[in-house]
A and B are shown apart, each in its own frame.
Chain A
Amino acid sequence: AQSVTQLDSQVPVFEEAPVELRCNYSSSVSVYLFWYVQYPNQGLQLLLKYLSGSTLVKGINGFEAEFNKSQTSFHLRKPSVHISDTAEYFCAVKLNSIIQGAQKLVFGQGTRLTINP
């Protein structure tokens, strides 16, 4: 079974500083990787995804992530954060398979990113 570990439950940073949110996953088979953002009282919005190809993935709002297969990691980065980036961020994996029951997203526990002025 797959699992996702987000190594930091909370990350406070100052505005315009860089940030990295860490994500490690466990799976014995090929997976797709995702980062979602959740603003207060909202659903989930896809930031970026890795399906195949280049290991550096660029997403919306200036975020990017790098897939590292040997370290089974998919860390999210932004070079300069804004107050509006304050939200909960979730890393998720999904099996690269259409077998019944394999289509679910498995999420980490989330990282609360707080941007201070």
Chain B
Amino acid sequence: ETGVTQSPTHLIKTRGQQVTLRCSSQSGHNTVSWYQQALGQGPQFIFQYYREEENGRGNFPPRFSGLQFPNYSSELNVNALELDDSALYLCASSLTLNTEAFFGQGTRLTVV
């Protein structure tokens, strides 16, 4: 059984560009959550997808958007990148709602 995998592991983008981060959930898991972890901070909830529908969103602007596919993998898209978007982006999958979250290794995004 494979765990949660994220790609790419590292990424450098220029301010104003757009980025797509990908997450493959653990086998059988239908719920995916995304978190942003700025340097020296705890992770902050961005949004969650349950069976391809958004199921809650944190305090992030609309330029942060996502998708969940029929195989329950997920994407996080960020438009008009800002320097403050530089962070570790973590994906977590759960068997279903209200069950334990398993985290991937994260994608380190640097905006220059």
Contacts and interface: CB of A to CB of B under 8 A. Distances in A.
Do A and B interact with each other, yes or no? yes
Interface string A84-117: 0000001010001110111111111110000000
B48 A103 contact: yes
Contacts of B101: 46, 105
Contacts of A107: 42-44
A105 B55 CA distance: 13
B26 to A, nearest CB: 12
The B interface is mostly helix, strand or loop, or mixed, namely strand
Nearest to B54: A100
A115 to B, nearest CB: 20
Contact of B103 (A45, A98, A102): A45
A53 interface: no
Given A44-B43, A44-B90, A104 B103 contact: no
Contacts of B57: 101
Interface residues of B, number: 28
B104 A101 contact: no
B24 interface: no
Interface string B82-112: 0000000010100001101111111010000
A96 B50 CA distance: 17
Given A43-B90, A43-B106, A98-B98, A104 B41 contact: no
B6 to A, nearest CB: 8
A109 B43 CA distance: 8
Given A103-B48, A104-B33, A98 B43 contact: no
B43 A103 contact: no
A42 B42 contact: no
